[in-house]
Amino acid sequence: MQPQISIRPAVEADFDAIARITAGSYLAAGYFDSADHPYMQQIREVAARAAKATIWVAERDGQVVGSVTLALAGEPYADIALADELEFRMLVVDPAVQRSGAGLAMVKAIIEHAKSLDGIHGVALTTGATWESAHGLYRKTGFRRVPARDWLVPGTDIKLLVYRLDV
């Protein structure tokens, strides 16, 4: 039986683990070919992100094993959130423990949190077109594709897919 996973707000002591896990999971999945990519540099700036967005961690046996960034429409880390949506970004699980339930636990916690927020009727996210394991998690938790909201990374031809779940 897997040890219990808890989801909680990140604290400063978690920032190094969040940076390591985020960079490690993006590289392991092949989303970027180099740790020097500008976006890879940006995602390691956890303190700067935490100053502008809500970050949660997944913890197992006292170890941070995953993290996610939450944002509402109009906030600096909201890319696609509509006025009635909670958006989540950078959902990552340590490559050493992927497929152990941490990602699912975070998504379920996000959905429950969204249900508790006044005026929020949906949860939205953006994901890469080829990120099949992520797509499977989102479909499993009830998210549906919203192709009309897909978008391109500015200055590139990289298409990002949008998913939404009504809450």
Domains and CATH numbers, the chain: 5-166 (3.40.630.30)
**SS3 sequence, the chain?**
CCCCEEEEECCHHHHHHHHHHHHHHHHHCCCCCCCCCHHHHHHCCHHHHHCCCEEEEEEECCEEEEEEEEEECCCCCCCCCCCCEEEEEEEEECHHHCCCCHHHHHHHHHHHHHHHCCCCCEEEEEEECCCHHHHHHHHHCCCEECHHHCEECCCCCCEEEEEEEEC
Residue, of 2 and 18, whose pLDDT is higher: 18
Question: Could you tell me what percent of the chain has a pLDDT over 90?
Answer: 72
Tell me, what's the pLDDT at 128?
87
pLDDT, position 2: 60
* pLDDT, position 1: 57
Q: What's the half-sphere exposure (Cβ side, CA atoms, 13 Å) at 101?
A: 9
Cα 78 from chain centroid (whole Å): 12
Percent of the chain with pLDDT over 70: 93
Contacts (Cβ under 8 Å, ≥6 apart) of 160 = 126, 127, 128, 129, 150, 151, 152, 153
pLDDT (tens digit, 9 = 90+) per residue, 34-91? 677 777 777 889 999 999 999 999 999 999 999 999 999 999 999 999 999 999 999 9
Q: How many CB atoms are located within 10 Å of the residue 94 CB? A: 22
Q: Is the pLDDT of residue 132 over 90?
A: no
Q: Facing residues of 40 across strands? A: none
Question: Which amino acid is residue 135, in one-letter code?
Answer: H
Tokens 């009830």, located at residue: 142
pLDDT digits (tens, 9 = 90+) for 92-104: 999 888 888 999 9
Residues belonging to the chain: 167
The per-residue pLDDT for range 109-129, each reduced to its tens digit, is 999 999 999 999 999 999 988
Token code pair at residue 33 = 């070919």
pLDDT band, very low/low/confident/very high, at 160 (cuts 50, 70, 90): very high
**Rounded to 5°, angle at Cα 127 from 28 and 98:** 40
